[in-house]
């Protein structure tokens, strides 16, 4: 499993257990993971360092994930980074809301340990960008 191939992912997740699990799974798949517990922290980090992907929990304290995605897309420094939403449960309309906020796709939680890294790679498309 080398889906990540050393690429940098900014992982925005306020739930410590989910953050740890997702970090482990992504690191095992070859990603370099930078954690952020809030959207505010993520916006700051994304503006200061290059990332290949941002995984954005939708439900966050303070600024929510979709608003953070909108702000990332409005900022020329971060607009080019693909953002994938992490949705707590697949509700009708979640995917549409994520796409409308500028996300490339959504990944449903709870995290499926056997498929998570593969699913993350898949949202970036076949050429891995
Ligand atoms: Mn959350």
Distance 64 CA to ligand 1 centre (A): 9
pLDDT per residue as tens digits for the range 102-125: 999 999 899 999 999 999 999 887
Q: What is the pTM of this model?
A: 0.93
- Whether the ω angle into residue 122 lies within 30 degrees of 0, i.e. cis, is no
Q: State in Å: Cα 22 to ligand 1 middle.
A: 13
At residue 20 the predicted structure's pLDDT band, cuts being 50, 70 and 90, is: very high
Q: pLDDT for 59-77, tens place per residue?
A: 999 999 999 999 999 999 9
Q: Kindly state the tokens that stand for 15.
A: 């739930």
Does 5 have pLDDT greater than 80?
yes
Contact 41, 14 (CB under 8 A): no
Q: Cα(55)–Cα(42) distance, rounded to whole angstroms?
A: 10
**Edge-to-edge strand list for the sheet holding 53-57:** 32-36, 8-12, 53-57, 83-87, 105-108
User: What is the C-alpha R_g of the chain?
Assistant: 13
Distance 13 CA to ligand 1 centre (A): 6
Structural domains in the chain, sorted by start: 8-128 (3.40.50.2300)
């Amino acid at each position: 499993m080398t889906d990540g191939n050393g690429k940098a992912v900014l992982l925005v997740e306020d739930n410590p257990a989910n953050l740890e699990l997702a970090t482990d799974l992504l690191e095992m798949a070859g990603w370099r993971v930078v954690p952020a517990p809030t959207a505010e922290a993520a916006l700051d980090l994304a503006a200061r360092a290059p990332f290949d992907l941002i995984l954005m929990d939708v439900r966050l304290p303070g600024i929510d994930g979709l608003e953070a995605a909108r702000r990332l897309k409005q900022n020329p420094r971060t607009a080019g980074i693909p953002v994938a939403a992490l949705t707590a449960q697949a509700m009708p309309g979640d995917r549409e809301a994520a796409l409308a906020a500028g996300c490339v796709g959504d990944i449903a939680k709870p995290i499926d340990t056997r498929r998570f890294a593969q699913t993350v790679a898949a949202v970036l498309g076949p050429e891995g960008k």
